[in-house]
Structure 1
Amino acid sequence: MRDNLESFCDSDQEDRMSLDGNEEKSKVVEEKKKRKPGIVYLSTIPKHMNALCLRELLSQYGELGRVYLQEDIRDVNKRKLKKKKTNSRNYAEGWVEFKSKRVAKEVAQLLNNTQIGGRKKSRFYDYIWTIKYLPRFKWIHLSERLAYEKAVHKQRMRTEINQAKREADYFSLNVDKSEKLKKKLGKGQKLVSFDDNSQVTIHQRETEDQILEKKKKKNEKTGLHDSGSKNVNERDEFLLSLFS
């Protein structure tokens, strides 16, 4: 009896252990599903908004991960022309990562085409959210795209620099040639000399009268040839009729 009770207790403990293990596995799977991140895309960024402001506005809807804002090219070009370092930057588009995929979908559906709001004194109060959830999009895709754009930009800059170098070399070569020619002219040398006895033959285009005369001559020749051939044929026919 004792052996049976002990075996029954052992089996009961094993069943409990297996149930606990299955529950833990299911919890881990659910947590992984919940933790699966989701990324939303912002097609427009309000002026003077940076990553900190955006994080502050969106963190109230869910836990955020990484935030990336792409700077506006027009703003970059203006700063390059002015050659001034300014802290205020304008951004064209942005990507925000939520820790939960479900939360990212809900936030995109809730906020898209709605007013940012908040405090009335805020400079972003009247702007409208333009948010879209990106299905099956991961942060690595964004990093790959940025790396590709950076490589393309570098290649374009190289080609432009090489083109500028070629133009500068060509210009300097022409400048050197012009200086040499000026020196020769200063010494009294002639740049181009023609012989007095040399004759230049120029072929002019034929006139219409000349073209018509040539055509008439050709027609006359062909007419004589045709008449001669006709006479020969008639003679042969006559001889054949006699001897037949």
Structure 2
Amino acid sequence: MTDPLIDDVKELLDKEKGDERILKQIYRACENNEVISNYERNYVKSLAEKHLGRIPQIQDNQIEEKHQSNEKPIVPDVIFSKTSSQKVESLYSKSNKNKKSTSKNTKILLGAGGATFVMLIIISMSLTGILNLESNDSQIISEDSSSASLSIKTDLATYQKGDIISISGTSDTSGKVTLSIKNQDGKLIWSEAISVKNNGRFSTLAIAGGPGWDKSGTYTIQVNNNSETKSNTFSFKA
């Protein structure tokens, strides 16, 4: 029986395609029914597909591989054992317990911190109150001491002729005190006896003018309560 490959070899020789020596050798082997190697068969097939328009044949193994590639892979079902699910549940419950204990500890710490903060505020307020009381007491003591001492002052440091001089002061004695003004020469130019109020204070008014107010200079004002004498000064411009 003649090999069907001989038709392609003959046509290739007629069209002078391929190696003439190899094709003639294959042609003689086909006529004599000799064994043709796979290399020679593949050589003829490639030339026939290229120059004779032959359609390449798909081998059975290639068809089977293509069919297998089109099939969807079978994914095996995954079965979880009860022990693994129980382990997961136990781990989840432990994590929840840890979270709850952590939140409780946080609340306890916050509560303790808040109580400490409140205590600090109370202590600071108490100390502030004590300091304020001490300062108030010291102010009261100083006021009492100032009111207990004899003093005298004027509302201004400088006066001109015709101005009204406001005189005030304190005395630790009851009854009356004697006020006086002396000019720059030490001459008495004004005097008045006034009563001390119940709070130990006294006050009066005087006019900068009249006999003895002729010269500018430093004038002296005095107070006497029959126990001691205190003085102060002011400037006068004639």
Using the size of structure 2 for normalisation, the TM-score is 0.29
Structure that is richer in helix per residue? 1
Larger Rg: 2
- Highest RCO, 1 vs 2 (Cα 8 Å, sep ≥ 6): 1
Tell me the TM-score normalised to structure 1 length. Answer: 0.28
